[in-house]
Structure 1
C-alpha cells in the first residue's frame, strides 16, 4: 500500500510540474522536449507531417465570421487559404499556378455556377456574371453557362480547347462593355452570339488558340481600342464575326471551315489599321468569306496577306466596296491584298493607259514661241485603270496615280503628229511633266525628252519613255516644244500613254 501511495503521489507532482512549466514558458513541444524559444507550439518529426482542417471550397466560404489569419486546406483547389479581415476575403497561400497567382479560380464541370461564381453573379446584379478584374478563371471541362458573362478585363482560360468548353444554350455568351482575354477554349452559343461586346472605344480584347463551334452567330465586337484574334478555328456556325469601329484589328491565322454559313468576317465603321494574316476561308454555297460592302473607312492602312480563299461559292469569296472602286476588284486604295483565290490589290500593281479619242476632230495647236512648252491637246480615253486616274481627271492627256504609297513607274508614250507650214524642217522636243495633287508643277522629267526633226505635210511618230517616282495624287501630262524653225502648227493624229 505504501508503494502504491507514493507512485500515485509521484505521478500527481509530475503532472503538476508540467502544468507549472507550461504556464511559466507558454510553450508546448510535440516530439521535442526543447521547443524553440520563439514558438508557442513546436512540432518536430522526421517521419510524419501535420494536418490542418481540410474542407471543400463551399465549406470554406461558409465559415461564419472567420478570424483574421484562420487557415484551412481547400480540397477542391488543392491549396492552403488564410482569411484576411482587412480585405474581407480568403487569400490563397499556395497554388499550382506558376508564380503563385493569388487572383485565380478554377471552375469545374461539376461545380454549381451560382455557388462558385456567387460574388460575380452578385456583381452582375443577378443578370450576368461580372468577372473580377485581373482574375484568371480556369475552365475545367464542359461548363453549361446559365447567364451571360462580362469579362471585365479578366482572363478566361482552358488547358485543352478540345476538353475545356463554355456552352450557352440560349442567348449571348460574352456581353458588356469591357474587354479581357479568352484563351484555349471551345465556345458555343447555340441560339445567340458568342461575343456581343461594345467596348466604348478604350478596351482591349485578346482571343486566341480556341474554337468557335455550332453557334447561331459568332458575334459582334465594336468600339474597341485593340482586338487581337490568333489561331482560332470556326466550324458549323450559322453566321460569323462583325467588327465595327476598332482602332487596331489584328486577325492572325483564322481557320474558317466549309461548314460555316453566312458571312465569315464583316468590316464596318472606322478603323485605324487592319491586318489579316494567314489562315484560310473555305467558302461554300451562298456564304461570304470577307465583307467590306458597307464601305468601312480606313484612316491608316489595311493589309490582308497569305490568306487562302477557296470553296465552291462561284459568286465570289469577297463582298467588295459598293460601288466597286475598280471593275473586277474588291477593295479601295487603303488596302494591300495578296491572297490566293482573290485578285491581288496593292500599290505595286497600279497601272493605266490613255489614248486619243479619234472619233473626234483631230486636235490642232501651235507653238507660239521657241522653247515654250505646250501641253499636247485632245480628249483621251482611259482604259485598264487600277489605282490610277479615277479621282483626278484622266481626260485631256493626263494620267494620275491614286495609290497610297510612293512608288516608281515606267511611263511609255507614242505620239503621231503632222507639222504644217512653209518654212521647211522644224525641230520639236516631246517630254513628260509631273504635277502634284494640287495641280502644281513638281518637275519636268528631263530623262523623257525626245527630239524629232519634223517635216511639214508628213505624219510622223515619236516614242517617249521615262522612269519617275510618284506620290499619291501626282499625275503626268505630255508636252511638246518648238526649239528650231518656224512651223508653229501641229495636228495630233494619235496619242497612247501607259504607266505601270
Structure 2
C-alpha cells in the first residue's frame, strides 16, 4: 500500500509539472519561459530532414514549421510560404571582365551575369560602363578549337552509367552518361528528370551518328538545365523538322544539321563539319555548365573549326557565331543577336558609333519576368558612360535574377560588370 501511495504522489507531481507547461530533458529545472528545455554538453537535436521535393509535399504546413532541407543544405521554415533560415550568405555576387558586344534590338541576357539565390528579399544592384564605339576583335580559332577539345575530353573521360541503350523516346530517364557503340536515335517525347539536382548531368554519346527524328520533343524536368545536357557524336548529328531540342550538340569531326521549324535551346559545336540550320530559333544557354567547362565557347551558339555555316531563311540565333574556314554569308538573311566572327580573322569596327541618337536599354529580370522599375534607357555614344541599375526583389525558390540589354541600332559594348544581391529584411 505504501508503494501505491508513493506512485500516486509521483503521478500527481508529474501532472502538476505538465500543467505548468515546463518539460526538461537533461535538466531538473527547466526554464519557466520555455515549454521544453533541452540541456546537453555532448549532443544536439535533429529536426526532420528532407529534400525540397519532399518538403513541398507537406500538406497545409503551419506557420513556424521547421525542417532541414537536404537539397540546399540549410534550414527552412514556413511563414505563408517556405523561407530559408539565415544560414545562407547575406549577399551574392557575379561579375564579368572585358568588353562584350551586342547588336540585338530585343532584350538579351548578359552572358553569365545571373544569380539564383535562396528565397528571400534582396536589394539588387548592377554596375558597368557602356559605349557604342567598339571594335569586334576576330575570334581566335585556335583558342575556340582548343576549348572544343577541352569540353569533348571532359565528356569522354566520364564513365558510362548505361551502355545497353540504342533508341530513346516516350520515356523519362535519370541523369547519367548513356554511351552507345553505334548510332543513337531519339523520337517522340523524351523527359530528362534531374530529381531536384541543379547539377544533374545528362550525356548521350554515340560512336556513330546521332539523330532526333522529326517532331521529337526534349523535356527538362525537376531542375534539369540545357547547359548540363550534352549530345555527343563521333558521326554527324541530325535534328529533324518540327523538333524541340535542349542541350549542347557536339560532333567530333562531322556535320550538324537542324531541320525546318525546329528550336534548339543549346549550342551547335563541331571541330570540322559544316553547320546547317533553319528556318528556326537557336538560343545559347544564359549560364555555363556547372560541371563541363566550355571556355571561350561559352557565349557561342554555333562554332565550326573548318566548315561553312549554312543558314536557311529568317532564322534567329541568340548568341555568337564563328567559323574557322567556311563561309558565313548565308547569315545575312537571319537575325543574329550576337556577333558573327567570319573566317579570315578580320576585325570589324562599328561604323555607326557617332550616332548620338542610339539608345541603349538595360533592365533586370526576375524569374524571366521584367521588373519595370529597373529599366534604364540611355543615349549611347563613343564615350564610355557609367551604368547603374537598382531594384528590390522578393525571390521564391527556383527564381533567377538576370540583367538584359538591347541597342536601338548599331553595336553596343559593355565593359567590366558586376551584379550583386544583398539580403534585406
TM-score normalised by length of structure 2: 0.36
| Higher normalized helix content (fraction of residues) | 2
Higher relative contact order (CA 8 A, sep 6+): 2
Q: Which has the higher strand share?
A: 1
